[in-house]
A and B are shown apart, each in its own frame.
Chain A
């Protein structure tokens, strides 16, 4: 049996759901720290959606290990194929890192970490200014790295869809 040309349905659903969530998080993040009026509701949205991304990326990784993705086209230049694999690795790393850094940064800052209603998360690192300083900067710079990587990834996806027309885009967009 030849390998499927498509990501399986859970992979596709998770990919598109999470890309919408992550883009929302990036825009909400920079928007809320730049607003003197809209921060309260935006930050109340930002925390639980960020933690939801952490939970979803765990499911996504398990699904990927159980059901490996379709191979890239054989005629894709080696450099492009390496770039594709490295960028996916980086995206996965950041999907784990961003929420974990967000959660630990609030812990280190001595903040409570409310999710919804009375549900709060416990602190995962000690309340400490040196740790907070590092994590708070990391949250910003990793977010910028994530946004840049997503833009490159989007450009590459559209390049596959509109220029190469090699089925890579369809592997994520369509089903068997």
Chain B
């Protein structure tokens, strides 16, 4: 046998190159197609993170350049997390070792408009970035609802489609919303909360819930599923419909500023440990009241900064930025949030980075900067 590396000798019959060329073309085409398929370009009906953000933008009715596509109106906060050490038995994450660490965060209301009235913000939020002494980071974005409305990304997509304003009326089509409710009975507890839970007068007296389940891994390798909440030390004070109606559009940030001028605000970080029978991958289902709850530390907020130039502006509070000792669960909403926040972050940072977001960066002159 000749060495295959030797060129074919002269005089050998020349082959027809066409079959080989066709095979090469077919291989290249197959690879290009596979790439396009994996990238979602061949399947326009596949729900991708980018298409999800498109539908959120549509439901918002407008794109507010440089702002978050959801929870657009907010304010940066800063302070300290004081860990009491009780969490160390549950998770080896260094944030739970007794001690203090600096915290950066953001308080906001749900919705896509950076200048919405606070009285319309049924959902209030708290996001935090905690960096432990080993440099590992924990980001969490929590909401005032106790349960989420759906258990899958598709479900939340359907809700966004159903709640997009009808161009004829300027309002969501009630028939579509009713159809959504019928198709998603799991959303009932959420809507019940939205309708009946009393509104508090202040961001300071609101409870914020992580809602999704996570896995805590301890130093010995043992693990458990948990959910967490920030429970205010500020006493709850309810606000009725009349008061809400009369309230200033920015009453929440005004209240926060007044309170902070008088002293720092505190929340207890409460970790709830799941029992074996509790639903882990379904954020629409509350866990029974009698589950073990452990206060692992206290959040102390002592100052705010406008989001137009505050440190929270350019942060993506991706709930899957976690230190070792905290892991995501199989809850599909977590994976969806991580993917979708990234797209929202990319779009707003692109707008800011290319100078297309004068309002969101405070370059527009009279901006209110989206303070709540």
Decide whether A and B assemble into one complex: yes
Q: Which residues of A approach B to under 8 Å, CB–CB?
A: 5-6, 26-27, 30-40, 43, 73, 75, 109-112, 117-118, 120, 127-134, 136-137, 147, 151, 154-155, 158-159, 162-163, 165-167, 170-171, 174
| A132/B353 in contact, CB under 8 A | yes
Q: Which of B112-164 contact A (CB under 8 A)?
A: 134-137, 153
Q: Which residues of B contact A155 (CB under 8 A)?
A: 24-25, 27-28
Residue from B134, B153, B314, B323 in contact with A36 in the complex, judged by beta carbons closer than 8 Å: B153
Q: Which of B26-68 contact A (CB under 8 A)?
A: 27-28, 31-32, 34-35, 38-40, 46-50, 52
| A5/B335 in contact, CB under 8 A | no
Residue from B5, B336, B346 in contact with A37 in the complex, judged by beta carbons closer than 8 Å: B336
| B5/A170 in contact, CB under 8 A | yes
Q: CA A27 – CA B36 in complex, angstroms?
A: 9
Q: CA A32 – CA B50 in complex, angstroms?
A: 12
Output the least CB separation between B347 and chain A (Å). 10
| A36/B340 in contact, CB under 8 A | yes
Q: CA A28 – CA B267 in complex, angstroms?
A: 40
Q: Is B256 an interface residue (CB 8 A)?
A: no
Q: Which residues of A contact B328 (CB under 8 A)?
A: 40
Q: Which residues of B approach A to under 8 Å, CB–CB?
A: 4-8, 17, 20-21, 23-25, 27-28, 31-32, 34-35, 38-40, 46-50, 52, 134-137, 153, 314-316, 318, 320-321, 323-324, 328, 332, 334-336, 338-340, 342-343, 345-346, 349-350, 352-354
- Residue of B5, B40, B324, B335 with highest tally of chain A CB at under 10 A: B5
Q: Which residues of A contact B52 (CB under 8 A)?
A: 36
B92 nearest in chain A by CB position: A118
Output the least CB separation between A26 and chain B (Å). 7
Which secondary structure characterizes the binding site on chain B?
Answer: helix
Q: CA A101 – CA B256 in complex, angstroms?
A: 40
A30 nearest in chain B by CB position: B39
Interface pairs (26), CB distance under 8 Å: A26-B35, A30-B40, A33-B343, A36-B49, A36-B332, A36-B339, A37-B336, A39-B335, A40-B320, A40-B328, A40-B335, A75-B7, A109-B314, A111-B318, A128-B314, A129-B314, A129-B353, A130-B354, A131-B353, A132-B314, A132-B353, A137-B350, A162-B24, A167-B4, A170-B4, A171-B5
Q: Which residues of B contact A110 (CB under 8 A)?
A: 314-316
Q: CA A134 – CA B40 in complex, angstroms?
A: 23
Nearest first, the 9 A-B pairs at minimum CB distance are A133-B353, A34-B40, A30-B39, A162-B20, A130-B353, A167-B5, A170-B5, A39-B339, A36-B153
Q: Which residues of A contact B137 (CB under 8 A)?
A: 112
Known: A130-B353, A130-B354, A158-B27. 17 other contacts (CB 8 A): A5-B5, A6-B5, A33-B342, A34-B48, A39-B339, A40-B328, A40-B335, A75-B7, A110-B316, A111-B316, A118-B324, A128-B353, A129-B353, A133-B349, A155-B25, A158-B23, A163-B21
A122 nearest in chain B by CB position: B135
| A30/B24 in contact, CB under 8 A | no
Q: Which residues of A contact B34 (CB under 8 A)?
A: 27
- Given known pairs A26-B35, A134-B353, A170-B4, the reply for A151 and B338 (CB within 8 Å) is no
Q: Which residues of B contact A174 (CB under 8 A)?
A: 4-5
Q: Which residues of B contact A147 (CB under 8 A)?
A: 35
Output the least CB separation between B11 and chain A (Å). 14
